[in-house]
Amino acid sequence: MLMQLRSAVLMLLLLTALTGGVYPLLVTVLGQALFADQAGGSLIRRDEGSVIGSRLIAQQFTGPEWFQPRPSAGDYATVSSSASNLAQSAPALRERIEKALPDVLAAGQGPVPQELVTTSASGLDPDLSPAGARYQIARIAAARGLPPERLEALIREQTHTSRIGPATVNVLLLNLALAELAP
């Protein structure tokens, strides 16, 4: 019996060292070596090195002169990121949409894209559909004094297409490109 206990304790120590130390260290080293940008959070930095944001996490932009991302159930905080978990039939979802609608509704542009008034599964989705970005053109053109055609071209330039999913526009990258435009 003492021999079995000794073997069990040794196996516990060995597996703890392997799965709790060696494996995480190996994954970290390989991730940093092979996928440095992704392992580092896909951060976007200014020329002097300060961090602007991450391509993977939505950020809140305030003011009519910026493209707005999807609403966030966790107020764009990564610690509390989550979906709202509200069913389509939930009165709370209807109330939240009705509250958000006046902020994004633009006269004469047809129905508001659903993604501009509903949260994503993570609450931090950094992307919009090109239609969601285009819906905001009139507001941004008026606020910045830019021709709508220039904003449409900017959205086309920033649209990412994939073989698997729908086309998307990263709102942070779109707003960075927008900041470089002269009015």
Q: Compute, in degrees rounded to 10, the torsion defined by CA atoms 43, 116, 90, 111.
A: -160
pLDDT at residue 156 in the model? 96
No. of helices (H) and no. of strands (E), the chain: 8, 5
Name the band, by pLDDT with cuts 50, 70 and 90, for residue 100.
confident
CA distance 179 to 157: 14
**Which is more confident, 83 or 30?**
30
pLDDT at residue 17 in the model? 94
Residue 183 has pLDDT above 70, yes or no: no
Sign of the dihedral defined by the CA atoms of residues 92, 94, 95, 97, in that order: positive
Residue 107 has pLDDT above 80, yes or no: no
**Which is more confident, 9 or 49?**
9
Return the domain boundaries, the chain. Answer: 2-39, 43-179
Give me the residues paired with residue 53 across strands.
44
Residue 113 has pLDDT above 80, yes or no: yes
CA 76 to mean position of chain CA atoms: 9
Residue pair 99/150 in contact (Cβ under 8 Å)? The answer is no
| pLDDT, tens digit, 9 for 90 and up, residues 135-180 | 999 999 999 999 999 999 999 999 999 899 999 999 999 999 999 8
Residue 78 has pLDDT above 90, yes or no: no
| pLDDT, tens digit, 9 for 90 and up, residues 18-52 | 999 999 999 999 988 998 888 888 888 888 888 88
pLDDT at residue 83 in the model? 63
Residue 79 has pLDDT above 70, yes or no: no
